[in-house]
Amino acid sequence: MKYLIPLFLSMISITTFSQSIKVADEKALTDFHFAALTQGKSYEWLTYLSNQIGGRMSGTVSAEKAVKWAEATMKNAGFDKVWLQPVMVPHWERGTKEVAYYTLNKKKIKVPIAALGNSIATPKSGIAAQIVEVKSIAEAEKLGTALKGKIVFFNVPMKTTNLRPFTSYGETAGIRVNSANVVGKFGASAIIIRSLTTSLDDFPHTGVMSYRDIPENEKIPAAAISTNAAELLSKHLKENPQLKFYFKQSCHNFEPKQSYNVIGELTGTENPNKFIVVGGHLDSWDLGQGSHDNGAGVVQSMEAIRLFKINNIQPRNTLRVVLFMDEENSGSGSRKYADEAKVNNEIHLAGLESDSGGFTPRGFSIDSNQKYFDLIQTWKPLFEKYGIYEFFKGGSGADTRHLKTDETLLVGYKPDSQRYFDYHHAATDTFDKVNKRELELGTAAMASLLYLMDSYLD
C-alpha cells in the first residue's frame, strides 16, 4: 500500500496539470479569436497603409512614410519598446509609366508592360526589335548568338496544376530573376517575360530581377507583360514571326539609401532576454498598394501582439514584432536584423513570418528540428475548430530564415493561397481585395501560435 497513494496523487497531478494547460490554451485561443473579430485593428490599419501610403518600395518617400507610420502605430498600441533599426537599402524607381506595342496587319496592338525591379531603362527613344519567343532558359541558351539584337520573349506560364500556387511560382520565378543575364551575353537587346500569375488578366506583374556580376555592357532591359498580352503576342508571332516589338521604360537605380526595420516589443515576464519574433516585410512593389503583399503581414504582426495586450496576457518571453525593410529588392533588412542579433548574442527561440497574403487561415509551414516539429503537431487539435489543419515542413519566409539555428523554431503563416498570385506584384494588389474576416482570423491564428510558442519554449 505504501506506493499506492503517492502514485495515485501523482497521476491526479499529471492529469490535472495537462488538463489545466489544455483548458488555458483553449481559452487563450478563444480569447484571441473573439478579440480579433470584435476589437480588431488590423483592417483599419491596413486601410491606412494601403490607401494613405500605398506602394512603398525601399528607398522611396512612401517607404519612409510607412516606417514612421508603423513606429507610431506600435507606440500608440502601447508596446513596451519601439525603435528603428537603420539599414542601407537599394533605391530603384520605375519612373514614367512604360509603353509597349507592336503592329500587326497595320493595327497597333498595345501591350500592358512593367519594368522588372532592378532593370535598367531602355534608351530614351525605346527599343524596337524583332521578337523571339522561347519557352525556357535552356531554349534561349541553345539559340545563343541567334538572339543578337532581338528582344527575347520568355513565355513560360505558371503551372495551374500544382495545388499550391506557391509551388508553381517557385518553379517559374527563376525566369524572372535570371533570364536577362542568360541572353545578355548573346547580345540580345532586351527581355520580356510573361507575368507570373496563373490568372489570365491584363495586368503586368513586376518583381525583382538581378544582373548579378555581369559586365555593364551585357546588361539589358527587362520587363513583364500581362498574361493576356503574352497569349496574344504568341498567337501573333505564329502569324508573323518577323514581328517587331517596341517598348520604352525609364526606371533607374539610385544610390542606396538609409532606411529602417521597425521593431516593437512586449517584454517577457520570465525571460525578457529571450525573443520570439513575429513579422513580415514593410516594403512593397509600387504598382499596387501592397495590401496582400505584404500589408497584411505587417498589420497582422502588430495586431497579434496587440491581442496579447487587450487580453491581458503577459508573455513569458519577449515578443518582438519586426517589420523588415526591403524584402522585395535585396533582402537587406532581414540580413541586417539577423546580423545585429548575432552581434548582440540575442537568443531567438522562434520566429513567425506572415508573407503569404491576408487570406483565410489554413496552416503553418515549419522549419525546425524534429523535436519542435513534433511539439507543434501536439498543438494541432487546438486549431482544428478554427479550420486550421495544415502543419507541414517547409520554409518560414524570406525574412525570418536568416534566424535559423539548430534550436530555433521558424514558422511561416500559410493562409489559403489560390488567389494570391492574381494580385502578387501587380496593380491589382489593393485594399479592396482583402476581406476583413479573413485578415482577422489570420491574426488570431498567428497570436494563437505565438501564445503556444511562448508557453512551451524557453
> Which residues contact a copy of itself by CB under 8 A?
33-34, 37-38, 160-161, 163, 165, 198-199, 360, 362, 384-387, 389-390, 416, 418-419, 422, 435-438, 441
Nearer to a copy of itself, 299 or 457 (CB): 299
CB of 220 to a copy of itself, least distance (A): 34
Which pairing describes strands 222-225 and 113-115: parallel, antiparallel, or unpaired?
antiparallel
Nearer to a copy of itself, 302 or 441 (CB): 441
Nearer to a copy of itself, 317 or 448 (CB): 448
Burial 98-136 (b: 16+ CB within 10 A, else e): bebebeeeeeebebbbbbbbbbbbbeeebbebebbbbee
Nearer to a copy of itself, 179 or 430 (CB): 430
CB of 451 to a copy of itself, least distance (A): 18
Nearer to a copy of itself, 283 or 422 (CB): 422
Nearer to a copy of itself, 37 or 129 (CB): 37
CB of 386 to a copy of itself, least distance (A): 6
User: Is there a contact between 365 and 414 (Cβ–Cβ < 8 Å)?
Assistant: yes
CB of 309 to a copy of itself, least distance (A): 20
- CA 207 from chain center: how many Å? 11
Find, among 50, 113, 87, 67, the residue nearest to 251 by Cα: 113
Cβ–Cβ contacts within 10 Å for residue 274, how many?
18
Nearer to a copy of itself, 98 or 422 (CB): 422
Find, among 434, 432, 452, 409, the residue nearest to 356 by Cα: 434
Nearer to a copy of itself, 339 or 390 (CB): 390
Find, among 425, 115, 424, 421, the residue nearest to 286 by Cα: 425
CB of 188 to a copy of itself, least distance (A): 32
Rg (CA), the chain: 25
User: Is there a contact between 182 and 144 (Cβ–Cβ < 8 Å)?
Assistant: no
3-state secondary structure of 44: helix
CB of 360 to a copy of itself, least distance (A): 5
CB of 97 to a copy of itself, least distance (A): 24
Cβ–Cβ contacts within 10 Å for residue 143, how many?
16
User: Is there a contact between 285 and 293 (Cβ–Cβ < 8 Å)?
Assistant: yes
CB of 37 to a copy of itself, least distance (A): 5
Q: Which residues contact residue 255 at a Cβ distance below 8 angstroms, ignoring those fewer than 6 apart?
A: 91
User: What is the C-alpha separation between 28 and 311, in angstroms, rounded?
Assistant: 8
The three cell numbers of residue 154 are 520568355
CB of 300 to a copy of itself, least distance (A): 15
Q: Looking at residue 369, what DSSP letter applies? A: -
The single residue listed with the C-alpha cell 525546425 is 368
Residue 288 — left, alpha, or beta (φ > 0 → left; ψ -120 to 50 → alpha)? beta
Nearer to a copy of itself, 83 or 392 (CB): 392
Nearer to a copy of itself, 390 or 458 (CB): 390
CB of 95 to a copy of itself, least distance (A): 31
- Give whole-number Cα distances, 441 to 11, 238, 289, 444, 445, in Å: 37, 48, 22, 5, 6
Nearer to a copy of itself, 324 or 413 (CB): 413
CB of 409 to a copy of itself, least distance (A): 24
User: What is the C-alpha separation between 47 and 281, in angstroms, rounded?
Assistant: 17
